[in-house]
Amino acid sequence: MAKNITVIPATRNIHTGVEHTSTEKRRVAGYARVSTDSEEQLTSYEAQVDYYTQFISANPEWQFVKVYTDEGISATNTKKRDGFNAMITDALAGKIDLIVTKSVSRFARNTVDSLTTVRKLKEKGVAVYFQKENIYTLDSKGELLITIMSSLAQEESRSISENVTWGQRKRFADGKVSLPYKSFLGYRKGANGLPEIVPEQAEIVKRIYRLFMQGKTPSGIAKLLTAEGIPTPGGKVKWQSSTVESILRNEKYKGDAILQKSFTVDFLQKKMKVNEGEVPQYYVENSHPAIIPPEEWDLVQAEMARRKELGQRYSSTSVFASTIICGECGSTYGAKVWHSTDKYRRTVWQCNHKFKGDHRCTTPHLYESEIKELFLKAFCKLMDVREAIVDDCRLVQSTLGDQTELDSQAKAITEDIEITAELIRRCVDENTFKVQNQAEYFERYERHTARYEKLKRQLESIETERQRRKEKFDLIGSFIATLEKQGATPIEFDDDLWVAIVDHVTVNADESVVFTFKGGMEVTEQLI
């Protein structure tokens, strides 16, 4: 018998599940985005919102939901686009049937994000219509076209990113400085486009440097600024020690600028990385007005290095802390209060290990008034031979600045490292493709890697010595600058002068006090 086949027509849309005869209106939302927050783009943004509101409302078969928006946001990924993410959440929750947007590039420039989102929406029966490309995602050809267009948009984004990067690096090479003004204390963008000092903020920066040189730690400065209600560079209430330290270390406060300290490694995720030599850096001197004199900035860097070397032995209680040394046991002097509860209260400085252990140090204690008086006497002697000292210091600087030998050593070691790395690679390749005695292979491999690690340590040692010389060079430079700008010999003790020129003071058992200055000179005074 012949088969009798009757076709039962479909009554629902295969994608949306809506009955063909349904008169229910489709819920439609628009999506608008501009990628910068400039005034011109904001005008475009407002126009897009107005356009989609009228476009959707004018269709009698559509029910207007809302226009979701993002402004000043890049499209390279969807993680930080609040409007976009809210729209997708509502669509997946069944509140939207159709999304209308200008183009694939407005929706996303990342192929993976674009396709993932479209497929999620498709599973829920939600369509996306791209006007410019005339793509309707629920069509049979929709996903193929989306893949092609998204790939093109992603490549366009890569090209734009590379062009922007090239432009930035060209600016760096030309020495053009731009600061993140919204989170940078002390400067604003001037009329000529260059950094301009903000006087009231500059005073805060100067105070931070002054407090540090008076002995305070970054955490102590942070607590003080927080207690006084001074806002951070980012406008927050609470200061962090890391914020203070970054201000103290930033060369831009002395009028110079290191450009390209970090760079973008992924144009899609906008991932940044600290530049550790992967791309060029540019050091621009006198690029903008300085808030902190260069010699003072150098002093701060030297003081930070000194405190780091002292570690836990550093104390921030006084300018004398961690600088007065016992000539007998090598321990630092610390402040002790005598007669703390009566009118004879006095602060003395004595060896911190004086009463520790079996041996009692015989070095004398010092009153603060004695320390100050002895310092003024020693400084007077220093000033009497100032010209000769400055000449000697410049000679030492020239020796420290000549790094020809270190450069030669570093070059030779670097070449040895490259050769050894190639030997390791060949060793591994040979073991991969040829049958070898494994004991001999491991012996050879270990020998090469041990040499490689030894060479790396030698290179690191050279870099450490190079940094030590630079710090010493800068320290002597600051010492010279302090001596040269000093007028008449001071008749009163000055904390800043002490911090600027004193490296350490050694107190001996015979009551002699030796002042070692940062230029390397020593002056001995005797307690009366």
**Both 354 and 479 in a single domain?**
yes
Return the pLDDT at 468: 84
Number of structural domains the chain divides into: 3
Is 416 among the domain residues?
yes
Q: Which residues pair with 229 in a beta bridge?
A: none
**Both 486 and 411 in a single domain?**
yes
Is 77 among the domain residues?
yes
**Both 201 and 343 in a single domain?**
no
Read off the amino acid at residue 481.
Answer: A
Higher pLDDT, 403 or 115: 403
Cα separation, 88 vs 186, whole angstroms: 42
Is 216 among the domain residues?
yes
Q: Which domain holds residue 155?
A: 26-160
Query: Which domain CATH number covers 134?
Result: 3.40.50.1390
Give every CB contact of residue 116 below 8 A, 6+ residues apart in sequence: none
**Both 422 and 280 in a single domain?**
no
Is residue 19 over pLDDT 60?
Answer: no
Is 179 among the domain residues?
no
Highest mean pLDDT among 49-58, 103-112, 426-435: 49-58
Return the pLDDT at 174: 54
What is this structure's pTM? 0.50
Is 273 among the domain residues?
yes
Is there a contact between 73 and 33 (Cβ–Cβ < 8 Å)?
Answer: yes
Query: Which domain CATH number covers 451?
Result: 1.10.287
Please report, for residues 50, 51, 52, 62, 243, the alpha-carbon distance to residue 56 in angstroms, rounded to integers and kept in the order given: 10, 9, 6, 7, 50
pLDDT interval class at 353 (50, 70, 90): confident
How do residues 34-86 score in pLDDT, each as one tens digit? 765 444 444 567 788 888 999 999 998 899 999 998 875 544 445 567 888 89
Is there a contact between 101 and 128 (Cβ–Cβ < 8 Å)?
Answer: yes
Return the pLDDT at 272: 61
Cα separation, 156 vs 76, whole angstroms: 10
Return the pLDDT at 12: 57
Is 168 among the domain residues?
no
**Both 369 and 430 in a single domain?**
yes
pLDDT interval class at 265 (50, 70, 90): low
The arithmetic mean of pLDDT across residues 216-232, rounded, is 91
Please report, for residues 31, 66, 67, 118, 387, the alpha-carbon distance to residue 52 in angstroms, rounded to integers and kept in the order given: 8, 9, 7, 20, 78
Highest mean pLDDT among 154-163, 192-201, 240-249: 240-249
Higher pLDDT, 334 or 144: 334
Residue ending a domain, choose from 269, 303, 337: 303
φ, ψ (nearest 5 deg) of residue 388: -65, -40
Give every CB contact of residue 426 below 8 A, 6+ residues apart in sequence: none
Please report, for residues 422, 429, 436, 452, the alpha-carbon distance to residue 440 in angstroms, rounded to integers and kept in the order given: 18, 15, 8, 18
How do residues 230-242 score in pLDDT, each as one tens digit? 999 988 999 999 9
What would the two tokens of residue 439 be? 């004991």
- 194 — alpha (psi -120 to 50), left (phi > 0) or beta? beta
The secondary structure element, H or E, covering residue 401 is: helix 386-401
**Both 295 and 352 in a single domain?**
no
Cα separation, 136 vs 133, whole angstroms: 9
Alpha helices (runs of H) in 79-237, residue ranges in sequence order: 82-92, 104-107, 111-123, 142-173, 199-213, 218-227
**Both 259 and 401 in a single domain?**
no
Least confident range of 71-85, 108-122, 151-165, 419-433: 151-165
Is 138 among the domain residues?
yes
Read off the amino acid at residue 486.
Answer: Q
Angle subtended by helix axes 294-310 and 241-249, to nearest 10: 130
Read off the amino acid at residue 97.
Answer: D
Residue ending a domain, choose from 303, 334, 359: 303
DSSP string, 357-390: SSSPP-PPPEEHHHHHHHHHHHHHHHHHTHHHHH
Question: For the chain, what is the mean pLDDT?
Answer: 80
Is 182 among the domain residues?
no
Tell me how crowded residue 299 is: count the other CB atoms within 10 A of its CB.
27
**Both 213 and 150 in a single domain?**
no
Higher pLDDT, 419 or 138: 419
Least confident range of 55-64, 102-111, 178-187, 294-303: 102-111
**Both 216 and 331 in a single domain?**
no
Percent of residues in the chain assigned helix, strand, coil, to nearest 5: 50, 15, 35
Higher pLDDT, 433 or 19: 433
Radius of gyration of the chain measured on its C-alpha atoms? 35
Give every CB contact of residue 194 below 8 A, 6+ residues apart in sequence: 177, 288
Is there a contact between 95 and 66 (Cβ–Cβ < 8 Å)?
Answer: no
**Both 273 and 351 in a single domain?**
no
Is residue 297 over pLDDT 80?
Answer: yes
Least confident range of 16-25, 68-77, 401-410, 493-502: 16-25
Pairing verdict, β 346-351 and 333-338: antiparallel
- CA angle 138-139-144, nearest 5°? 100
Share of the chain above pLDDT 90, in %: 26
Cα separation, 29 vs 95, whole angstroms: 10
Query: Which domain CATH number covers 234?
Result: 3.90.1750.20
**Both 455 and 357 in a single domain?**
yes
Cα separation, 173 vs 414, whole angstroms: 27
Is residue 115 over pLDDT 90?
Answer: no
